[in-house]
Amino acid sequence: MKKHLLSIDDVTVDDIHALFETAAEMHDVQRRDVKKLPALRGKTVINLFFEDSTRTRSSFEIAGKWLSADVINLSAKGSSTSKGESLRDTVLTVTAMGIDGLVMRHSASGAAQQVAGWLRQESSTIPVINAGDGTHEHPTQALLDAYTLTRRLGSLEGRHIAIVGDLTHSRVFRSGVKCLTKLGAEVTVVAPPTLMPSGITAWSKDAGFATSYDVDAVLPTADAVMMLRVQKERMSGGYFPTAREYTVGYGLTRSRLGLLKEGTPILHPGPMNRGLEIAPEAADAASSAVLDQVSAGVAIRMSVLYHLLAGPSAAATTGE
């Protein structure tokens, strides 16, 4: 792996497989009575979150602690940025304290890349992990989603994965498409015209995925479907007439479950708007992988922290 994890572009197919292999071993820790490995003993990781988060921040915190790292959570409300301090000064102040890793979420696209650049200027060796930057990328979410699918489906080579919903505002979709296509999946993204990102036609041709406005035509051939949250907090205008019309046109409703092949995994990165983009019957279906994603999130983030902070020579899984 590269020094930082800012984008799925930072990992090769071999890197992804290595991360998945380590994650599978880390997954076993969740079933132990004592959930501790010594791999990051003596390391300090800062979770610097400028946006609200439950799953991502909690899973990074658990991942670090289960690897025996000291984990400190900082939020915008509890940092000096609320007093007017710049992001650059906040980051350089935090990293000057002798920490070993920085996990960051920020509302501005490209913020993690910018932080890595500032640290490079300071000759810092601290790895930066992007936990979501604006509408740009969310690489660990893409990795955990792909990992979840491989545990359900095996190899993703030639598998048809449908990603449905608010593509315009989704960093999960942008990272997910890159990760899934790297692993050989055939991806179709589906959204209403108002939520289909501008320029996606050219991007889809270069990246090798398909686009569609017709969810009912895509679902019957899908080997897995991921529903994306309608991000109302990022919307400043009328992207669709009413919530009801969105659900009728693009929601994974109870009736649409009948379009899926039997046992088709249903994913959602959360948090879910039940009754809007996904019906309760779909979220709680036997084929739902939503809670599997949460469990996989801890394992994948343990794997990422291990590979970036400990290195392959550390005895992470032997307990030595």
Q: Which two tokens stand for residue 129?
A: 């992990």
158 is in an annotated binding site: no
Q: Rounded to an integer, what distance in angstroms lies between the CA atom of residue 22 and that of residue 182? A: 19
113 is in an annotated binding site: no
Q: Rounded to an integer, what distance in angstroms lies between the CA atom of residue 309 and that of residue 286? A: 37
151 is in an annotated binding site: no
Residue type, position 201, single letter: T
36 is in an annotated binding site: no
CA atoms 246, 252, 255, 256: torsion sign: positive
271 is in an annotated binding site: yes
Contact criterion met (CB below 8 Å) for 179 and 16? yes
199 is in an annotated binding site: no
140 is in an annotated binding site: no
293 is in an annotated binding site: no
Q: Rounded to an integer, what distance in angstroms lies between the CA atom of residue 284 and that of residue 282? A: 5
Q: Which residues sit in the known binding site for L-aspartate?
A: 83, 171, 229
Which residues sit in the known binding site for carbamoyl phosphate? Answer: 55-56, 105, 138, 141, 270-271
- Binding-site annotation: residue ranges: 55-56, 83, 105, 138, 141, 171, 229, 270-271
